[in-house]
Amino acid sequence: MSNRLLDWCFKKSIWVYHVNTGSCNGCDIEILDVLTPYYDCERFGIKLIHTPRHADALLVTGPVTRQVRERVLRLHQAVPDPKLVIAVGSCPTGGGIWHDSYATCGGLGNVLPVDIYIPGCPPRPEAILYGVAQALGLVPKHVEARTYVEE
Amino acid sequence: MFKHAISELKEVILCLKAGQVTLGYPFEPHPPESGFRGLPRLDGDKCIGCGACANACPPRLISLDDQDGYRTIDFALARCTYCARCRDVCPQQALAMSDQFETATPSPGDLHITIKLRLVRCRECGAVVGTRRAVNKVLNEIPEKLGLPPEKMDWLDVCLSCKRVRALREAVLMAEVDS
């Protein structure tokens, strides 16, 4: 039921609010690339918006530093339901190089419920487009855990 | 006035020439350039479990665990920075950077590579010596390269501390024989 409701809600344009939580700006520049006419995400209705109260999705970059944790939680509360949380880059996905640092929360998954992780350092603009499309349920997942055992 | 119209006309022609710049990406594939470093791939048949990649990895995502006769090497690729140092240090060329960039997933657990290799334990004290593949590699390559007699290689399944004790004991025995 909730899935169908989500599908219906996100069928049209989604507006994203970009949050930098201590990122090095690598992923932020890739997000800007997605907005340029070359990648042109506005043809899918994806638009960068400058207030969380109008947003459908939070686009989070950075490993979530301790200083910014409170603000991220408040931003998440400010976004109206139903909402998507998209983690862009290796830092919010698994903490990146700062996964065990005292100054970060070691990834967005420790702070918020995340809908889709887009790993990459930084991810290609295509990868971001693919990730957002997957969050909307338009494309299937391509990765799976691999295991090898010696006989 | 006339000049202005001509310059505007020039601009129109320029704009028409430029055509469409937008990529067709989601509807048609857009493979990355050669040399792009995507999701690492591990060839399980080549890996000898030496752990060189675990030493080199900047985000320390490769963990080694020796248990139950197996060495488990786990790549938690969620925090991979795609620097390819693991590929550069691998003595077996078992690691390669694929060109897969469509790695988005709802759960970071999908971004794992796990490999289990059999261990060799010290025949005197039972401590871990290395993986069976690593020991076999030494056995196959070192005698040829150094011209060692094969009977010397029976020290291979003895751990470092037991090797020291054995070397000392043999030296003492030899000294007694000499005297």
Map residue B158 onto helix, strand or coil: coil
Asked whether residue B18 is domain-assigned, the answer is no
**Is residue A1's pLDDT more than 60?**
no
CATH number of the structural domain spanning residue B37: 3.30.70.20
Domain holding B109, by residue range, is 33-157
Apex CA B6: angle with CA B2 and CA B9, to 5°? 140
Residue B164 falls within a domain, yes or no? no
Nearest to A117 among B108, B113, B117 (CB): B108
Q: State whether A38 and B23 contact (CB < 8 Å).
A: yes
Give me the number of domains chain B comprises: 1
Residue A140 pLDDT level (bands cut at 50, 70, 90):
confident
B57 → chain A, closest CA residue: A97
Nearest to A38 among B22, B80, B108 (CB): B22
DSSP lists the bridge partners of residue A104 as: A65
- Torsion sign across C-alpha atoms A29, A31, A34, A37: negative
A146 found inside a domain: no
In a domain, residue B2? The reply is no
CATH number (domain holding residue A79): 3.40.50.12280
- CA–CA separation, A82 vs A35, rounded Å? 23
The answer to whether residue B24 is domain-embedded is: no
Residues 6+ apart with CB under 8 A from A109: A87, A92, A93, A117, B108
Chain A hits for B44, Cβ within 8 Å: 148, 150
In a domain, A111, yes or no: yes
| Position A142 in a domain | no
Write down the ipTM of this complex: 0.81
A145 within some domain: no
Residue that the structure tokens 């490769």 belong to: B62
Query: Among candidates A70, A101, A89, which has minimal Cα distance to A131?
Result: A89
Residues in chain B within 8 Å Cβ distance of A131: 104
- Does the distance separating the beta carbons of B102 and A38 come in below 8 Å? no
How many other CB atoms sit within 10 Å of the CB of residue B98?
12
- Is the pLDDT at A7 greater than 70, yes or no? no
Instruction: State both tokens at B46.
Output: 């080549």
Residue A144 with chain B: CB contacts under 8 Å: 110
Dist. CA B19–CA B42, nearest whole Å: 43
Write out chain B residues lying below 8 Å of A123, CB-based. Answer: 101, 103
Give per-residue pLDDT as tens, B127-139. Answer: 888 898 988 888 8
Q: How far apart are CA B73 and CA B90, in angstroms?
A: 14
Q: Give pLDDT tens digits for B82-93.
A: 999 999 999 999
What's this model's pTM, rounded to 2 decimal places? 0.83
**Residue span of the structural domain in which A73 resides:** 2-135
Beta strands B95-97 and B40-42, pairing class: antiparallel
Q: List the beta bridge partners of residue B71.
A: B66, B117
Bridge partners of B131, per DSSP, are B119
Of B73, B49, B67, nearest to B135 (Cα)? B49
Q: How many domains does chain A have?
A: 1
* Residue B157 C-alpha, separation from nearest chain A C-alpha, in angstroms: 19
Q: How confident is the model at residue B179 (pLDDT cuts 50, 70, 90)?
A: low
Q: Which chain A residue has its CA at the smallest distance from B76's CA?
A: A94
Query: A151 in a domain, yes or no?
Result: no
Judging by beta carbons within 10 Å of its beta carbon (0-12, 13-18, 19+), is residue A83 exposed, middle or buried?
buried
Q: Kindly list the distances between the CA atom of residue A22 and the CA atoms of A98, A107, A119, B137, in Å, as whole numbers in the listed order.
A: 11, 11, 16, 45
Q: How many pairs of residues across A and B have Cβ atoms under 8 Å apart? A: 146
Residues of B in contact with A129 (CB under 8 A): 25-26
Please check whether residue B116 touches A, CB under 8 A: yes
pLDDT for B23: 83
What's the first-to-final CA gap in chain B, in angstroms?
A: 115
Collapsing DSSP to helix, strand or coil, A109 comes out as helix
